[in-house]
Structure 1
Amino acid sequence: MKGKKLWGFSISLILINLASILEKADEALLPSVYKEVSEEFHAGPTDLGYLTFIMNFVQAVFSPIAGVLALQYDRPTVLASGTAFWAISTAAVGLSQHFQQVAFWRAINGLGLAIVIPVLQSLIADSYAAGSRGAGFGLFGLVGAIGRVGGGTLATIMAGHEYWGMPGWRFAFLNMASVSLLIGVLVYLYVVDPRKASPVHIASEVDSERSHLVGGKDNLLPPSLWRDSWIAMRSVMKVRTFQVIVLQGIVGSIPWTALVFLTMWFELIGFDNKSSAALNSIFTIGCSCGSLIGGLIGDRFSRYYPDSARIMCAQFSAFMAIPYTIIVLTVIPQSVNYFFTYATILLLMGLTVSWNNACANSPMFAEVVPLKHRTMIYAFDRAFEGSFSSFAAPAVGMISERIFGYDWKAVSLENGSAQGARALSKGLLTMTIIPWGLCCLFYSPLYFVFKRDRENARMANSKEEELELN
């Protein structure tokens, strides 16, 4: 990405990665203080799950907006606007006095993230060549994990204290909002859209692209944002690779949404705030490093097996999640005496189960659509995956309460609860093992459709470049 540099590094890339850090930190805030929110608002696991559901569902439903806006406006401007939405809503959550207020502002938070995440992904895709996108998205995941670890750890630790008479969890939300708003302003002022910086990324004229997408006919229509958006949506939805990845993602993202209860589960076992934050951070660090490792492995092997290597890496990662989850939730005794056992297994689990997005999904998306539609394909991926996976968090709560006997009124969150921990672990197990198995299976059709879709996208890009030159 061209533009100003700081110590040899692109300011645009630095700010994009900072935005990613803050986005992940914001996502980690609420799950890290579930215990305190539960006590403050007298909410059980099902109620807490609904808070995550509301944010994820709104994010999913409104994600296509990012694709529509990216067709018409500078992506840094769109990114800055989304950041402002999430910053304001995060501050409002910290000031909320009623559970319904928290739910409303979590929905607004989801709207901000709906705009931010697809734009971030498309900017990263445009910043790397096809053979190194796995490493690019892996590094993106690694950097984002710094935010998830930092946000989750600080929120969990701060939750146990008061600051100037304010509960620590509220103070954490207000601090996060302030920093996020600052980053949004810097993004607006200094980030350069790669489509403007490089001729390779300059989209072809609206007429020529539309002419190609509707079959190469000389059908010149007046510029229209909604017409362009409909054409882009229709083009993306027809791509078989997109359909398959979305199918596996619908089930594959369910376990990750369910795992928002991990910190609360550690606290129910009896770990204090710092120990719970440490275990969750170890898992997140493992996932972030695993994302980079998976991306590098996907890039490496795709040079020799361009049609299948990324798919095989993704299936391996999805399969490995099954035994590790069983070990963590059922094999290791649920006792504070097994801290280092939990830490070791969680680290190894994170290193192997987090490859999919970096090694396969995101790099393959960038290869199967024309350049101008990259934000749209990432937006629709979030829309479909997020809308279904958002049900996972409340489902864990309902299963834990109604099937396995979790009684939040009788559980002491202050000192832990063996019965509550067992019930919650069974709910988590139910919502992770089966989806991960299906995710591994649903990758298989890509062996037959990815090559064809990639060649079609290359032909489309070649025609666009020819039209641009003429």
Structure 2
Amino acid sequence: MEVPMLHKIRTTIVMAIAFTAEHADVMVVSALYLPIGRSLDVSVSKLGELSMWRGLVTAIIVPFVGVAGNMINRIYLITGGALIWAGMSTAFGFSTSYSQAAAWCALNGVGLALVMPCVQSIIAEVYHARQRGRAFGTIFTVSALGGMLFNFLAITYGNREIHNYEGWRVMVFVVAAFAATAAAAVFLGGIEPRNMQAGQGHNKEAASFGYALWQGLITIFTATKVVFRIRSFQIIMFASIVGTIGFMGFGYKVLYFQLLGFSSVATATLSLCTTLGVALGFLMGGWAADALAVRMPYAARPFINQLSMATAGPLTAVLYKAMPGCSKYASGVPGSLDHLLPEYGILCFAIGALSSWPASNNAAIFAEIVPEAVRTSVYAFDKCITGAIGALSTPLAGVLAQKLFGFTSLSHKHTGTAAPPAAAGGNSSAARATAEAAANLGNARALENGLLCIMLAPMAVKFLVYFALYYTLKRDRLAAGEDRELLLTELCKKDSEAGNGGGDGASESAAEASGKLPVRADTRAQPLPGRPVSAELCRLRSL
């Protein structure tokens, strides 16, 4: 059933608000690593563990969201998730120890788990196959812009005191308030697409909840087993896992710039440039692939993904090792590198804009190869796997920097150590400043090496992995029957290749060729020649 345009716009707006709240909630903690580390007196690897615990809980909960999404109105699930964020973020803002902060971060993962799979599946159902790249790109762009604003405010005010409260705590409260606002917007303005389709509403109210849950679990495990046979799904899953490892390093970039010698305002500006580039990249990647798909329907999205990795990787290496403000040339004095802000800003924007193309395309590919009935489950399972791997890899850059490259404590101002005794006739404050700058520079160099390790390797692996999609995507899209025009074109091509007999001979050849096409996604486990032909294919053959 075609969704009315007004409902599309309304649904897209509220889903974008929910996604923005999720994005802000995830980004703000990493933007506040420096003030949180000093306030709670924790190491750089412990700061990464805050995000790790949250990600692990999200990964554990999210498969059940796939079940719930097939049983319950997804608008209610998204609303509940946003309210959980609000409560847990407020509690996190009142934390006075690392154990309290870790506990609230972990519980916050429950709310995060409820949102992303539901938002993605709703958008996939509202838009047609050739509109999804732009739709996902728009959602991701809006969320990135919102996250950019919160990130800028967090970096700028996180180290200050606001009405006798530490600035990082105030910023966490602001995120909690926005999450509550997002919950209200989704609840009042969200539309469940299934409720608009005759016969597709939830008819399980009469059954007991236990029976419905059991049937839902059977559905998700059956769907997962079937979908995991799809080669394109396996490839995208692997690329997403590898990409998540690299993406988790972005949380340490704010800390890296602060230690290198940029002031808080300059660091916030660089973070803004990165996020703005990412936001634009989401939109550019989706639009570019949709436009190119007109001429290259099966190769457009893999090509755009590879182009993204091939351009972003070298620029990342330049950022950390070839810029005039890298640790080789920097001084570590706060504000000493602010004159390089334009050069760094342009480079950060370019890296963000070029590295984010695969996100929109991967979401669109999922929608093209996964049956509509199990999309929520599949999106949830994808979030589970990538979330678990990403959560475990979150502290990786910090661990490498601390254990392998010599990162020291953050407990003193700008990672300074206790001031050494002043030399005879020397100035104690000057000696302290020199020690702090030296510690900053050493920590920046350690973090620089750690970030470079975990960002370049995943980009190279993803570039190679996307080659496989050129061989699998065509087959899997036809198998899903998602694109009727492409399926009919394929049948006509088979008829043309069968010869010039026409008439019954052509019909027989079409039937024979179509019988070999893996049409029904729910019968993928069967050998190709034995699979039944779907009713949709029979209708197309009769045209």
Would the TM-score normalized by the shorter structure come out above 0.5? yes
Report the Cα distance in structure 1 between the residues aligned to 2:129 and 2:189, rounded to whole angstroms.
26
Q: Which residue of 2 aligns with 1:79?
A: 78
* Structure 2 residue matching 1:443: 3-state secondary structure: helix
Q: Is the 8 A contact 1:87 1:181 kept in 2?
A: yes
User: Which shows bigger deviation, 360-369 or 441-450?
Assistant: 441-450
Deviation by residue 1:411-451 (Cα, 9 ceiling, x = unmatched): 74277611111111000001111111011111222222222
Percentage of pairs with the same residue: 28
Report the Cα distance in structure 1 between the residues aligned to 2:411 and 2:370, rounded to whole angstroms.
53
Instruction: Tell me the amino acid that sits aligned with residue 102 of structure 1.
Output: A
Q: Is the 8 A contact 1:291 1:355 kept in 2?
A: yes
Q: Is the 8 A contact 1:74 1:193 kept in 2?
A: yes
Q: CA deviation at 1:274?
A: 1.3
Alignment of 1:273-288 (within 5 A): 273-288=264-279
Q: Is the 8 A contact 2:72 2:202 kept in 1?
A: no
1:361 counterpart = 2:352 = no
Q: Which residue of 2 aligns with 1:388?
A: 389
Q: Which residue of 1 aligns with 2:194?
A: 195
Report the Cα distance in structure 1 between the residues aligned to 2:535 and 2:146, rounded to whole angstroms.
38
* Structure 1 residue matching 2:156: 3-state secondary structure: helix
Instruction: Tell me the amino acid that sits aligned with residue 251 of structure 1.
Output: V
Report the Cα distance in structure 2 between the residues aligned to 1:203 and 1:248, rounded to whole angstroms.
34
Change (3 A) 1:413 1:300: same
Deviation by residue 1:248-273 (Cα, 9 ceiling, x = unmatched): 11111211111100111111012122
Report the Cα distance in structure 2 between the residues aligned to 1:202 and 1:465, rounded to whole angstroms.
18
Alignment of 1:285-364 (within 5 A): 285-332=276-323, 333-334=325-326, 335=330, 336=337, 337-358=339-360, 360-364=361-365
Q: Is the 8 A contact 1:71 1:229 kept in 2?
A: no
Q: Which residue of 2 aligns with 1:259?
A: 250
Tell me which structure has the larger Cα radius of gyration.
2
Change (3 A) 1:224 1:413: same
Change (3 A) 1:386 1:464: farther
Deviation by residue 1:312-340 (Cα, 9 ceiling, x = unmatched): 11111122221011011111123413211
Report the Cα distance in structure 2 between the residues aligned to 1:12 and 1:309, rounded to whole angstroms.
28
Q: Which residue of 1 aligns with 2:488?
A: none
Q: Which residue of 1 aligns with 2:50?
A: 51
Q: Which residue of 1 aligns with 2:92?
A: 93
Q: Which residue of 2 aligns with 1:211?
A: none
1:240 counterpart = 2:231 = yes
Q: CA deviation at 1:143?
A: 0.3
Q: CA deviation at 1:141?
A: 1.2
Report the Cα distance in structure 2 between the residues aligned to 1:270 and 1:9, rounded to whole angstroms.
46
Alignment of 1:55-66 (within 5 A): 55-66=54-65
1:373 counterpart = 2:396 = no
The higher relative CO (CA closer than 8 Å, separation ≥ 6) is in 1
Q: Is the 8 A contact 1:65 1:115 kept in 2?
A: no
Deviation by residue 1:48-86 (Cα, 9 ceiling, x = unmatched): 111111122222232212211111011101111111222
Report the Cα distance in structure 2 between the residues aligned to 1:160 and 1:268, rounded to whole angstroms.
14
When the two chains are superposed, the root-mean-square deviation of aligned CA atoms in Å is: 2.6
Change (3 A) 1:410 1:70: closer
The one of 430, 438, 463 aligned to 2:453: 430
Structure 2: runs of 5+ lacking an equivalent = 205-211, 331-336, 416-435, 482-518, 522-532, 538-543
Report the Cα distance in structure 2 between the residues aligned to 1:186 and 1:265, rounded to whole angstroms.
36
Structure 1: runs of 5+ lacking an equivalent = 207-220
1:167 counterpart = 2:166 = yes
The one of 465, 468, 482 aligned to 1:445: 468
Change (3 A) 1:103 1:465: farther
Change (3 A) 1:232 1:98: same
Q: CA deviation at 1:384?
A: 1.5
TM-score (norm 1): 0.89
Q: Which residue of 2 aligns with 1:16?
A: 15
Q: Is the 8 A contact 2:15 2:139 kept in 1?
A: no
Change (3 A) 1:69 1:277: same
Change (3 A) 1:223 1:431: closer
Change (3 A) 1:233 1:205: farther
* Structure 2 residue matching 1:329: 3-state secondary structure: helix
Report the Cα distance in structure 2 between the residues aligned to 1:447 and 1:80, rounded to whole angstroms.
39
Aligned pairs, how many?
Answer: 449
Q: Is the 8 A contact 1:3 1:11 kept in 2?
A: no
TM-score (norm 2): 0.78
User: Which shows bigger deviation, 121-130 or 230-239?
Assistant: 230-239
Deviation by residue 1:267-309 (Cα, 9 ceiling, x = unmatched): 1012122111110110110111011111111001111111111
Q: CA deviation at 1:18?
A: 1.0
Q: Is the 8 A contact 1:236 1:373 kept in 2?
A: no
Change (3 A) 1:388 1:223: closer
Report the Cα distance in structure 2 between the residues aligned to 1:78 and 1:405, rounded to whole angstroms.
44
